Structure 1
Amino acid sequence: MVSLTTVIIDGYSFTAVTVHLPKTTLLTVSNENGYIMCGALDVGLLNRHLSDRKIIAGRAVGVKTIDQLLNAPLEMVTTEAESLGIHAGMIGKDALLKMV
């Protein structure tokens, strides 16, 4: 099952997607500039092989719901996210606000 919802943070709108898969759930929250995602996100791949795309993204691990993703510290972020002041340890919703 896939669910799509709107999340409002400090008046800014983001799209939250939950994909229920066997034995795991994929979670993302995004806007037109970037996204945060559960541990399935391969930040290393984005930095190494897709760096020319300048992807703004961060990963939180151990999260099972969108609310947990929004409130968890990011474990890793892309180089492009770092250029916006987003860093590992930053809470997901705070990182999203730097993407607006």
Structure 2
Amino acid sequence: MMNLSPIEIDGHTFLSVSVELPKTNLLVVTNDKGYIMCGALDVALLNEKLKDRKVIAGRAVGVKTIEQLIEAPLESVTYEAENLGIKKGMTGRDALLKMI
């Protein structure tokens, strides 16, 4: 099953995407500038092989719901996210607010 729904964070609208897969969930919260995602995100790939795309993204691991993704500390972030002040250890919420 897949669920797409708007989510408000401090008055800003983001899109949450949840996909139920066998034995795991794929979780994303995004806007037109960047996104945070569950452990399925390959930050190293974005930083190395796709660096020219300048993707703004962060990854949280061990999360099972969109709510957990928003509140969890980010385990890794892309170089472009760092350029916006998004840092490893920052909550998903705080990272998303830097993407506005």
Q: TM-score, normalised by structure 1?
A: 0.99
User: Partner of 1:84 in structure 2?
Assistant: 84
CA–CA separation in structure 2 for the residues paired with 1:53 and 1:43: 13
Corresponding residue for 2:93?
A: 93
Deviation at 1:4, TM superposition (A): 0.5
Q: What is the Cα deviation at residue 58 of structure 1? A: 0.1
Measure, in 1, the Cα distance between the counterparts of 2:10 and 2:25.
26
Aligned counterparts, 1:13-92, within 5 A: 13-92=13-92
Counterpart code for 2:29: V
Gaps of 5+ in 2: none
Q: Could you tell me which amino acid in structure 1 is paired with residue 49 of structure 2?
A: H
Distance 1:39 1:4 in 2: 19
* Inter-partner Cα distance in structure 2 for 1:9 and 1:65: 16
Q: Which runs of 5+ in 1 are unaligned?
A: none
What CA deviation, in whole Å up to 9, does each residue of 1:7-47 have, x standing for no partner? 10111000000000000000000000000000000000000
Q: 1:50-79, CA deviations, whole angstroms, 9 ceiling, x for partnerless residues? A: 110100000000000000000000000000
Q: What's the % identity of the aligned pairs?
A: 67
**How many residues matched?**
100
Partners of 2:31 and 2:24 lie apart in 1 by: 23
Q: Tell me, in whole angstroms, the C-alpha distance in 1 between the residues paired with 2:10 and 2:3.
A: 22
Tell me the CA shift for residue 81 of structure 1.
0.1
Q: Where do 4+ consecutive residues of structure 1 move more than 4 Å?
A: none
